[in-house]
Amino acid sequence: MGFRTLDDMELSGKVVLTRVDINVPVENGRVTDTTRIDRIVPTVRDLRAAGARVVLLAHFGRPKGKVVPEMSLKQVVPSLSDALGVEVGFADGNYGQAVSGMEDGDVLLFENVRFNPGEESDDEGFARRLAGLGDVYCNDAFSAAHRAHATTHALARMLPACAGRSMEAELKALEAALGSPRPPVAAVVGGAKVSSKLDLLANLVTKVQHLIIGGGMANTFLAAQGVDVQKSLCEHDLLDTARDIAARAEQAGCTILLPRDVVVAQEFRANPETRTVKAEEVPEGWMILDAGPDSVMHIRTVLDGCATLVWNGPLGAFEMEPFDRATTAAAQHAAKLTRDGALVSVAGGGDTVAALNHAGVAEDFTYISTAGGAFLEWMEGKELPGVAALSA
Ligand code: 3PG
Ligand code: MG
């Protein structure tokens, strides 16, 4: 892949402007999930070991070019220092002075780059002022790479640029999953709506041999085949679209797997009365909330015959018991195949990480991306500006 890594750069004594994604969930001033912070540890460790002065550039929330005190990055400094094992400095002004006070191995976090309107507008002037503070640019924020912003895009062209360790790992995993994967390839796509994943489905049918559709969007595909899904979540205005995707899949030699049996309830709440029925036999007034055991069996058989799996979205309403069962069972089977060395499994996007954590398999997948939108855009086959800028 056409980009440089930390191994290709002169780093000793250099100020390395390092774009990271530490847009982590915070409740009452405390970071509740440090996954994204943990992912940048290898990059910062290697930079420090090479004698670099590490300036971290990051966004937090969507302050829209204004100073919004609740979105200050200052609140993540304690978690960051813990994870990195070094006292992280913080600058919210006088940036030049703060940088000139750094010594080799120091780590300094700048205030939320989105407080400046130049960030989201990919402003050359803003990027140039930042570039003037550093010697090298390193991007370790794959999950922000779908944004053409000053610190993910313009800045990359102004200094010698490279990918950080997490960006490197991410791109390698994605390449193995859809770039040049070992066939046969299966994709699991779940989640509520077809409408949010049209481009993704259209791209996948040309890339994978088996498309396993679950979640609310499966209902739309079932309805498109004439199934009465009753009260289930379903985009009735997209039946033609679903039929079109099915036709494209057939043309491309991609089989689409829809649930054969489903778990239904009369209302969406935890532990209601449920029944497991054939997909075409949803009782009047009931709704589909998960795939059933036959469907899971079918998915397991398909995965047994595949060498690569890319997974986005849950198969059912996994956040509510017992509708997490299909997702958990299928994920555990994928995890087992991965442990056995039979499957390369890559997952990411939105609820996926939460679903796989819930299934207890996050450690066993080949790679789990912390990216939401960037992972989806990549699955759609789009070029990500932050990645493209690194290879330029
Ligand atoms: C994310 O949380 O998805 C990334 O940090 C990107 O944030 P954004 O969607 O606000 O650009
Ligand atoms: Mg997002």
pLDDT in tens, 221-280: 999 999 999 999 999 999 999 999 999 999 999 999 999 999 999 999 988 999 999 999
Q: How many whole angstroms separate alpha carbon 65 and alpha carbon 43?
A: 28
The catalytic position among 164, 313, 350, 386 is 350
pLDDT of 305 > 80? The answer is: yes
pLDDT tens digits, one per residue of 200-214: 999 999 999 999 999
b (16+ CB within 10 A) / e for 172-211: ebbebbbeebeeebbbbbbbbbbeebbebbbbbbebbbbb
The pLDDT assigned to 97 comes to 98
Catalytic residue status for 172: no
What is the arithmetic mean of pLDDT over 357-372?
92
Chain-centre distance of CA 1, in angstroms? Answer: 20
List own/partner pairs for 231-238 with CB under 8 A and 24 or more apart: 231/266, 231/285, 231/286, 231/287, 232/264, 232/282, 232/287, 232/288, 233/192, 233/287, 233/288, 235/193, 235/194, 235/195, 238/194, 238/195
Identify whether 325 is a catalytic site residue. no
Q: How many percent of the chain have pLDDT more than 90?
A: 91
**Active site annotation includes 243:** no
Say which amino acid occupies 262.
Answer: V
- Report how far apart the first and last C-alpha atoms of the chain are (Å, whole number): 11
Contact status, residue 75 vs residue 58, Cβ threshold 8 Å: no
What is the gyration radius of the CA atoms in the chain, in angstroms? 23
DSSP string, 46-78: HHHHTT-EEEEE---S--TTS--GGG-GGGGHH
So what's the pLDDT on residue 29? 85
Query: Of the candidates 253, 255, 256, 272, which has an alpha carbon nearest to the alpha carbon of residue 264?
Result: 272
Question: How high is the pLDDT of residue 210?
Answer: 98
Average pLDDT of the residues in 117-125: 98
Query: What's the confidence (pLDDT) of residue 244?
Result: 97
Of 20, 21, 39, the residue with max ligand 1 atoms within 8 A of its CB, to mutate for a pocket test, comes to 21
The pTM score is 0.91
Residue among 265, 275, 224, 271 nearest 247 (CA): 224
Q: Look at residue 392 and tell me whether its pLDDT is greater than 80.
A: no
Q: What's the pLDDT band for 129 if we cut at 50, 70, 90?
A: very high
Average pLDDT over residues 55-61: 98
Residues above pLDDT 70, as percent of the chain: 99
Residues in CB range of 233: below 8 A, 6 or more apart: 192, 216, 219, 287, 288
Encoded amino acid at 86, one letter: V
Residue 35 has pLDDT above 80, yes or no: yes
**From the alpha carbon of 21, which atom of ligand 1 is closest?**
5
- Which residue has a Cα nearest atom 7 of ligand 1? 144
Cβ distance 275 to 185 under 8 Å? no
Question: What phi and psi values does residue 42 have, to the nearest 5 degrees?
Answer: -60, -40
Rounded distance between C-alpha atoms, residue 100 and residue 206, angstroms: 52
pLDDT at 351: 83
Residues with CB under 5 A from ligand 2 (ion): 372-373
Counting Cα atoms < 13 Å in the Cβ hemisphere of 273 gives 3
Q: Which of 31, 56, 59 to mutate to test the pocket of ligand 1 (most atoms within 8 A of CB)?
A: 59
The three-state secondary structure class of 163 is strand
Task: Inform me whether the pLDDT recorded for 1 exceeds 70.
Answer: no
81, 87 Cβ separation under 8 angstroms: yes
Taking only the tens place, the pLDDT of each residue in 153-196 is 999 999 999 999 999 999 999 999 988 999 999 999 998 888 98
C-alpha span between 73 and 22 (Å, rounded): 9
Among residues 61, 105, 372, 373, which one is catalytic?
A: 373
Instruction: Assess whether pLDDT exceeds 90 at residue 345.
Output: yes
pLDDT average, residue stretch 338-360: 93
Which residue shows structure tokens 């795939």? 291
Rounded average pLDDT over 27-53: 95
- Amino acid identity of residue 104, one-letter, is D
